[in-house]
Amino acid sequence: MKLTWLGHGSWRMEIGEAVLLIDPWLNGNPAFPDDRRAEALDGATHILITHGHGDHASEAVGIAQELDIPVVGIFDLMQFWENRHGIAVIGFNKGGTVDLAGVKVTMVAAMHSSSYSGDDGAPVYAGHEAGYMISAEGKTIYFSGDTDIMADMEWMGDLHKPEIGILSVGGHFTMDPARAAYAAKRWFSFETIICSHYKTFEAIEPDISPLRALGVKLVEADVMKSFAP
């Protein structure tokens, strides 16, 4: 298993026989080095989308067309993209599990919003926001997506028992480190916590010390520097 942070909330995950691009926002992402785009996309097998906001989903269709790979995510948005753009999609919903080259991906709840900008600039509904439990190689990863803490995390931790949490921690748009630490301590038994959706803009430059205080392995990844969790 190998993870590569692409900056912001975007990730490349090499797991099992799959190479997943999760919320790949590269063009316009101030944390991503433009000259490493080909490297970030190399060998990708699927694109996994948590919700429709531009900093997560704006490049999904273009990358799918470029690489001829499917986009995976909430049924409503996938159906829209399939009908409008003719791309291959795998649409499912919360509680559903799909098999991506032997990797089991279960969609779980998140608490956020999901839209894209319409032709007049007004927000257009893009299906519900989601997180994912990603299981392969004897491990389960909880990819929180953009979310606040929520009571659903109790059963999610108890049922799926993820060893690794990739958690949005930036605050302002998602839970901050203190809230993420609260959720991790109360409802999960993570061996490793990986920070996500932060260090992109001034509004999401948080103090990570509440997560360090948990006493579990904490990863603050460097952009485009791969690591094994």
Domain ranges of the chain: 2-219
Average pLDDT, the chain: 97
Q: CA-CA distance, 193 to 123, in Å (whole number)?
A: 33
198 pLDDT above the threshold of 90: yes
CB neighbourhood size of 155 (10 A): 12
111 pLDDT above the threshold of 90: yes
Report the pLDDT value the prediction gives residue 120, as an integer from 0 to 100.
86
- The least confident of 122-126, 157-161, 178-182, 193-197 is 122-126
Report the pLDDT value the prediction gives residue 229, as an integer from 0 to 100.
93
88 pLDDT above the threshold of 90: yes
Q: How confident is the model at residue 13 (pLDDT cuts 50, 70, 90)?
A: very high
Q: CA-CA distance, 82 to 70, in Å (whole number)?
A: 10
pLDDT, tens only, 212-227 = 999 999 999 999 999 9
Q: How confident is the model at residue 118 (pLDDT cuts 50, 70, 90)?
A: confident
121 pLDDT above the threshold of 90: no
pLDDT, tens only, 159-180 = 999 999 999 999 999 999 999 9
Residue entry with tokens 């809230």: 179
Angle between helices 75-85 and 60-67 (to 10 degrees): 60
78 pLDDT above the threshold of 90: yes
Q: How confident is the model at residue 207 (pLDDT cuts 50, 70, 90)?
A: very high
Name the residue type at position 114. Answer: S
Report the pLDDT value the prediction gives residue 43, as an integer from 0 to 100.
98
| Mean pLDDT, rounded, for 111-116 | 95
Report the pLDDT value the prediction gives residue 155, as an integer from 0 to 100.
98
Q: How confident is the model at residue 119 (pLDDT cuts 50, 70, 90)?
A: confident
Name the CATH superfamily housing domain 2-219.
Ribonuclease Z/Hydroxyacylglutathione hydrolase-like (3.60.15.10)
CB under 8 Å to 95, separation ≥6 — which residues? 106, 107, 108
190: left (phi over 0), alpha (psi -120 to 50) or beta: beta
| Mean pLDDT, rounded, for 96-112 | 98
83 pLDDT above the threshold of 90: yes
Residue percentage of the chain with pLDDT more than 90: 97
Q: CA-CA distance, 18 to 103, in Å (whole number)?
A: 7
pLDDT, tens only, 35-50 = 999 999 999 999 999 9
